[in-house]
Chain A
Amino acid sequence: MSEQYLLEMNEIVKSFPGVKALKGVTLKIRPGEIHGLVGENGAGKSTLMKCLMGIYKPDNGTILFNGKEIKNYSVRDAMNYGIAMIQQELSPVYHRSIMSNIFLGNEPKTNLGFIDWNRMKVESLEWLKKVDVEEDPTREMHELTIAKMRMVEVARALASDAKLLIMDEPTSALTTKEVKQLFTTMRKIKEMGNSIVFITHRLDEIFEVCDQITVFRDGESVGYVKPTEIDQNGLIQLMVGREIKNLYPKTECTKGEVALKVENLSMGHSFKDVSFEVRHGEILGVAGLVGAGRTEVIETIFGLHKKSSGKIFIEGKEVEINSSSDAFDNGMALLTEERRKDGIFPILDIRFNTTVANLKHYIRKSNLINHQAITADTKEYIKKLDVKTPSDKQLIQFLSGGNQQKVLISRLLLTEPKIIFLDEPTRGIDVGAKSEIHRLINDLAHQGISVVMVSSELPEIMGMSDRIMVMHEGKVTGILENKDINQSVIMEYASGIRDDFVPAETERVNA
């Protein structure tokens, strides 16, 4: 019976003070299978994987690996059994070579006990070939793209003889092309007889690459299905336990005057001659591939980078913005792309995180901070945005991604912005929270705020925007009305095949 599974986790229970994170979860993985794990943040996926890796000890339940029961083991043991985890946040040794990373802690030795660099190089080449990375193994890790680093981590797992690879959101920072490549390699690993646990928030990826899906909800496994037996809506329904009627609740609202106008804005090699305008109450989606310069454009408008030329007008008046504090003073607010890197203050509480950008409004005449007002406003926004937290004093690092994002949005709203920039507002956020954030964005537009939203998810761009600006390699290739438009048209602009703004003097012969 049990021989047919590589891994069997039965009735796993794990409690933390105050929360029952896992309430008897079952996970069964066959050899040579790509197994998708889906569920909202906080559903228990990571907790279960940490139990599997030996980071947490389950309170109850059994784990069978290769038919044998394993328990009370450490991370080291788990790796020896043949379980390896590739974290969402990569942590390679950046300033060492690829091969040193592949054999980290597992270096081949010569008879004398010295590191056998030659063997290491030869074997590294083999492993790299298996994961389709063509690189010199002596190259330093930091020179690689994120996609390649991820593949090196896979190679490292394979080199340590892992039978089961856990990949936690491996596609989150990759371009579409890199994702395709990753999937090819994943299938190849599957052919080699290894199994992969694939955790992702992008449901289309689940359907593309998985053989089997386990769905989590509130600490329970609520579904064990094949991708052929279910569709995306069915999966979402399983995940959230209710029907999400409208992931993109965009409603029409009246547009006002032009709030922000950007003229021929350039910044170094990042982008050139970007011009656009946004009206009050309008949502402008910014689409493009990773590296097209979208983030740089909004960060430059926001004063985080120095522009090399161009003009910015707010409500018809030209403004000079040299720092984020100038930007706030001019009624702008920015939600940055990487929540962990430059959004949250992880070890500080929600009150601090909510009010940090708006502190000057809490300073009394005596120069002292009005903590009561801070607490009151924080509580108000926790309620308004439905942030799920035990208290306003909770450290933000303990909230789920979606709730962290809500706190960050509260931070922006408190500054009473006229123009709000959102950079990948729903990246890494589960479906339920996603639709809430979309509803919030829609509300902002209805309040007359201009929204500029950068997103790599085309359904989000098309579902939420009034107009769509598409960028390709630092240039705007199109500004489109969001009517009768489809994904492939946007992709043509994003890849530079179409360009509405080819300047006359550089017009090519074939144009």
Chain B
Amino acid sequence: MNTQAEGMQRFYKTIQKYGIVFVLLFMMIIFMVINPTFISVNNLIKIANQASIYGIMALGVTLIIIARGIDLSMGSQVAFAGLIIASLGQLQTATFKVYPNLPELPVIVPIAVGLLIATLVGATNGFFVAITGIPAFIATLGMTTILRGACLLYTKGQPVTNLVPGIVFFGESLFGIPMPVIVYMLMALLTYILLNHTRFGSDAYAIGGNVQAARVSGINVSLATIKVFAFSGLMCGVAALVFAGRVRSVHPGAATGYELTAIAATTIGGTSQTGGIGTVWGAVVGTLVLSVLRNGLTMVGVDGYWQQIVEGMIIIGAVIIDMRKNAKAN
């Protein structure tokens, strides 16, 4: 091997490892060339803002997929947690109140209760997967339907509006940066630390990498699985808070299909459905790819219907490239 060939080798490896970043930059350059306002600070902030809700969900599902699971109930978890947060955080002047006689609570109460319940719902998913052994696909599919029903039951089908300023705050801006983006970045940091620097993350990789070996290595697989799903639930709770803040209301059908966007973002970011492979930065970049694509295609005037077709092709294309990369590694 001469050094030039080795240099090429290294170059290809870099391209492979960070390929998705190049794709993102490439897309941004193209959109910028066609429509220079794409790259304006305002528009970039808008992209990040739009990315935040399913970006936060993608963080949770990244961990689940690393542990070789899946969560199809994330959208309904967001709706359910959102309804809880909203119902406990309505203005006294609201026309329809879920709890008519409830006094205005300190804003921490609806948020804490909402996050707690979201975490418990996630843990329940994890419980079914870990203890009964049914596939995560089925467990969370069932949970989706259950939660949507629970949402309708909870508000009798009504949307919950007129939220207190403390909740609406999460949809506004702080020093010019949207709160959703700030929350997203904090959550990404939190997930990064959990995944790479704690036992919790290490166990997720172990379970996805080889569940039998994990068991033999003294890892409590059931408990770790429950924790991973609970974490995803928590992320759905946070996403729900941001949702309530941005939209200023939550209805029982909210966030429908968001889980698919989150899973797509994770997948584009290189998290492997076969488990054991995945990164937080990949999930973030994958989310941005989708968000840039949606925004950019609109900015350059591509038909909304075409946007969906392009998005779908990008998802499939990303996975094809990713699988080839992993195949080469073998």
Q: Give the interface of A toward B (CB within 8 A).
A: 15, 17-18, 302, 304, 323-325, 327-328, 334, 336, 341-348, 352, 356-357, 359-360, 363, 367-369, 371, 395, 397, 411
For the A-B complex, the count of residue pairs with Cβ-Cβ distances under 8 Å equals 83
B40 in the interface, Cβ–Cβ < 8 Å? no
Contact B1 A325 (CB under 8 A): no
Per-residue A-contact encoding for B3-35, CB less than 8 Å = 1, 0 else: 001100100000000000000000000000000
Taking a contact as CB atoms under 8 Å apart, the answer to whether A348 and B209 are in contact is yes
Q: B222 to chain A: closest CB distance in Å?
A: 10
A-B residue pairs in contact (CB < 8 Å), sample of 12 = A17-B6, A18-B1, A324-B218, A347-B276, A348-B209, A352-B205, A356-B206, A356-B213, A359-B199, A360-B199, A368-B197, A369-B197
**A327 and B210 within 8 A (CB):** no
Asked if A341 and B212 make an inter-chain contact with CB atoms under 8 angstroms apart, the answer reads yes
Bound: A302/B217 CA distance, A = 11
Contact mask for chain B residues 194-222; partner A; CB cutoff 8 A; 1 contact, 0 none = 00111100100110011011111111100
When the two chains form their complex, are residues B197 and A395 in contact, meaning their CB atoms are under 8 A apart? no
Check: B193 CB closer than 8 A to any chain A CB. Answer: yes
* Chain B interface SS verdict (over half): helix
The CA of A341 and the CA of B210, in the complex, are separated in Å by: 8
Bound CA span A347–B214, Å: 13
- Judged by a CB distance under 8 angstroms, whether B309 is at the interface is no
A17, B9: Cβ atoms closer than 8 Å: yes
A17-B198 CB under 8 A given contacts A325-B219, A342-B212, A342-B216: no
Contact A357 B210 (CB under 8 A): no
For residue B195, give the distance in angstroms from its CB to the closest CB of chain A.
11
Q: Which residue of A lies closest to B329 (CB)?
A: A395
B330 within 8 A of A: yes
**Residue ID in chain A nearest B215 by CB atoms:** A324
Contact across chains for A346 and B217 when beta carbons are under 8 A apart: no
Partner among A324, A352, A359 whose Cβ is within 8 Å of the Cβ of B216: A324
Q: Select B218's contact among A323, A345, A352, A369, beta carbons within 8 Å.
A: A323
Question: What interface size band does chain B fall in?
Answer: 20 to 34
Q: How far is the CA of A26 from the CA of B168 in the complex (A)?
A: 76
B206, A342: Cβ atoms closer than 8 Å:
no
Assembled-state Cα–Cα distance A495/B214 (Å): 35
* Shortest distance from the beta carbon of B54 to any chain A beta carbon, whole Å: 27
Q: Which residue of B lies closest to A356 (CB)?
A: B217
> How close is A398's CB to chain B, nearest CB, in angstroms?
8
Q: Given the known A-B contacts A352-B202, A359-B199, A369-B199, are A346 and B216 also in contact in the complex, defined by CB atoms under 8 Å?
A: no
Contacting residues of chain B (66-107) with chain A, CB-CB under 8 angstroms:
none
Distance, CA A122 to CA B277, complexed state (A): 47
Listed from nearest, the 5 A-B pairs whose CB atoms lie closest are A342-B212, A345-B209, A325-B218, A357-B217, A368-B197
8 Å CB contact of B198 from A342, A346, A367: A367
The docked-state distance in angstroms from the alpha carbon of A370 to that of B101 is 52
Task: Check A348–B205 contact: CB distance below 8 A.
Answer: yes
Is there contact, CB below 8 Å, between B202 and A356? yes
Q: Chain A contacts of B212 at CB under 8 A?
A: 341-342
Least CB separation from B272: chain A residue: A347
- Say whether B330 contacts A397, CB under 8 Å: yes
A336 contacts B216, C-beta separation under 8 Å? yes
- Find out whether the CB atom of B216 lies under 8 angstroms from the CB atom of A345: no
Query: With the chains together, A369 CA to B192 CA distance in Å?
Result: 13
A-side contacts of B217, CB under 8 Å: 324, 356-357, 411
Residue of A nearest to B12 (CB): A17
Smallest Cβ-Cβ distance to B276: which chain A residue: A347
A342-B215 contact, Cβ under 8 Å, with A17-B9, A347-B276: yes
Q: Are A342 and B329 in contact (CB under 8 A)?
A: no
Is A343's CB under 8 angstroms from B216's CB? Answer: yes
Are A304 and B215 in contact, CB atoms less than 8 angstroms apart? yes
A360 and B213 CA atoms in complex are apart in Å by 17
Closest to A374 in B: B202
Residues of A within 8 A of B277 (CB): 347
Find out whether the CB atom of A369 lies under 8 angstroms from the CB atom of B202: yes
Contact, CB under 8 Å: A345 / B210: yes
Residues on A with beta carbons closer than 8 Å to the beta carbon of B197: 368-369, 371
Name the A residues within 8 Å of B218 (CB-CB).
323-325, 327-328, 357
Return the contact of B213 from the options A17, A343, A395 (Cβ within 8 A).
Answer: A343
Q: Which of A324, A325, A346, A369 interacts with B210 by CB under 8 Å?
A: A346
The answer to whether B209 and A368 have CB atoms under 8 Å apart is no
A429 to B216 alpha-carbon distance, docked (Å):
21
Cα A455 to Cα B5 with chains together (Å): 46
B219 CB contacts on chain A under 8 angstroms:
325, 356
* Cβ–Cβ contact A347 & B209, under 8 A: yes
The chain B residue with its CB closest to the CB of A345 is B209
B210-249, CB under 8 A of A: which get 1 and which 0? 1011111111100000000000000000000000000000
Choose among A15, A346, A359, A371 the residue with the greatest number of B CB atoms under 10 Å from its CB. A359
Q: Tell me, rounded to whole Å, the shortest Cβ–Cβ distance linking A427 to chain B.
A: 16
Besides A17-B6, A343-B213, A395-B329, 13 other CB < 8 A contacts? Answer: A15-B1, A17-B1, A323-B220, A325-B219, A325-B220, A336-B213, A342-B212, A345-B276, A359-B202, A367-B199, A368-B193, A368-B197, A368-B198
